[in-house]
Structure 1
């Protein structure tokens, strides 16, 4: 099949910026979970912020580095990596609109992971002191940041459950079924990132991931390169039943202060 055909779904691929923000204030306005934050607070953050565009492969920050900025991912994608010597282990792929490891910023502690740009990224860098001051002085902004951290925590718990409760084959199968869940039967969907990164995210070696992919045909899932097709959706979804408490998308749900 021609990999350029329009019938292929690009679901979950890192999003390109269709209308990138031109100013820090624009970037804050574009961040959905900040909509309840008063304009003057966003103005104050923007006054101590800068937009930073980085090409794929750029290091955003290193493990053990103490943050000077709170970093909002506005466009592109960033991979978080655990590092020991020359070895790296993929932890998570961050997409817009999210904060990069905000706990380190809030606690003035070193980053526990390295951040590297996967697809050309736009970041909003807000001075760490300004960010912390806004958290401590504005209730709406504090609630927004809290919702961001809550969503991040729930994503991590789901990942731990996925790793602990499912076999390698089940993790791969559920990943593929979830990837194609909104695609019409028989229509291919493209893997959203390199296979080595997916393997790391699913807690296995590239070789184990490849073996699992090779065995998907008997469960109704066809793999051709980086294209995935549910040829027999009922068979696939029966064998790899999705659990909303593991596989469900984790959206931001900002708390609203009483009286607002």
Structure 2
């Protein structure tokens, strides 16, 4: 690998850039976990995922709830409680599908800030 880096500077530059992006993403995720409450992290995940497909008003969780809980730094039980708390902010959950009431989406944004 070192020999390849010495021979191909463009390759080395691309690898260094990707490593930098991955490191930045890891630090950003860690700061988010440390600085936000569990309900704020959940609301942020829901909003970020909903912005990937703005034409759809619902989100399908792409994995089981345990994996989602681990991804956003909480236990599965805490995830269920947090989802229940978000119902007052226009979030409804049906199995793996999360539906955001468009009228209350701004309240959810305030919750995740």
Q: Which structure's relative contact order is higher, taking Cα pairs within 8 Å and 6+ residues apart? A: 2
Q: Which has the higher strand share?
A: 1
TM-score by length of 2: 0.87
Check if 1:209 corresponds to 2:79.
yes
Runs of 4+ in 1 over 3 A off after TM superposition: none
Q: What does residue 239 of structure 1 align with? A: 111
Check if 1:188 corresponds to 2:33.
no
Partners of 1:149 and 1:230 in 2: how far apart? 35
Q: Which has the higher helix share?
A: 2
TM-score by length of 1: 0.40
1:173 Cα deviation after fit: 0.9
Q: What does residue 36 of structure 2 align with? A: 166
Check if 1:155 corresponds to 2:28.
no
Partner SS state of residue 192, structure 1: coil
In the TM superposition, 1:4-153 aligns within 5 A as 131-153=1-23
Contact residue 135 and residue 141 of structure 1 kept, 8 A: yes
Partners of 2:65 and 2:88 in 1: how far apart? 21
Partners of 2:2 and 2:59 in 1: how far apart? 41
CA RMSD of aligned residues (A): 1.5
The number of equivalent residue pairs is: 110
Partner SS state of residue 210, structure 1: helix
Contact residue 216 and residue 223 of structure 1 kept, 8 A: no
1:136 Cα deviation after fit: 2.6
Gaps of at least 5 residues in structure 1 are: 1-130, 242-260
Contact residue 189 and residue 229 of structure 1 kept, 8 A: yes
Partners of 2:87 and 2:22 in 1: how far apart? 34
